[in-house]
């Protein structure tokens, strides 16, 4: 099957968005595992972040932050 360039670009964008969504879910999963279910509320704030590098930084921060307020500060920064 021949795919048009437009379809190829759409597929690439969907793939990039799937990777970003996976990073967002990983962040929330880390925070919930470390600090409890109240960390689920962070998911809404993460939805607005589309920068892959920023999400990668936040994954690391979720793994190492001292507490949930520290992560919120990093998220706001």
Residues 21, 7: Cα–Cα separation, whole Å:
21
- As a whole number, mean pLDDT of residues 45-71 equals 95
What are 31-57's pLDDT values in tens digits?
Answer: 999 999 999 999 999 999 999 999 999
Q: Does pLDDT of 12 surpass 90?
A: no
Q: Does pLDDT of 2 surpass 90?
A: no
> For residue 56, what pLDDT is reported?
95
How many Cβ atoms from other residues are within 10 Å of residue 8's Cβ? 10
> For residue 23, what pLDDT is reported?
95
The more confident residue out of 1 and 57 is 57
Question: Which parts of the chain are beta strand (E)?
Answer: none
Q: Does pLDDT of 1 surpass 90?
A: no
Residues 50, 16: Cα–Cα separation, whole Å:
10
- Tell me how far CA of residue 28 lies from CA of 10, 17, 49, in angstroms: 27, 17, 13
Give the N- to C-terminal CA distance of the chain in Å, as an integer.
Answer: 46
């Amino acid at each position: 099957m021949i795919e048009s360039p437009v379809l190829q670009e759409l597929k690439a964008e969907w793939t990039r968005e799937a990777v970003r969504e996976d990073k967002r879910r990983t962040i929330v999963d880390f925070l919930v595992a470390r600090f409890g279910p109240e960390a689920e509320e962070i998911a809404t704030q993460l939805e607005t972040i589309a920068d892959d590098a920023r999400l990668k930084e936040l994954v690391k921060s979720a793994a190492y932050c001292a507490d949930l307020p520290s992560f919120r500060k990093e998220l706001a920064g």
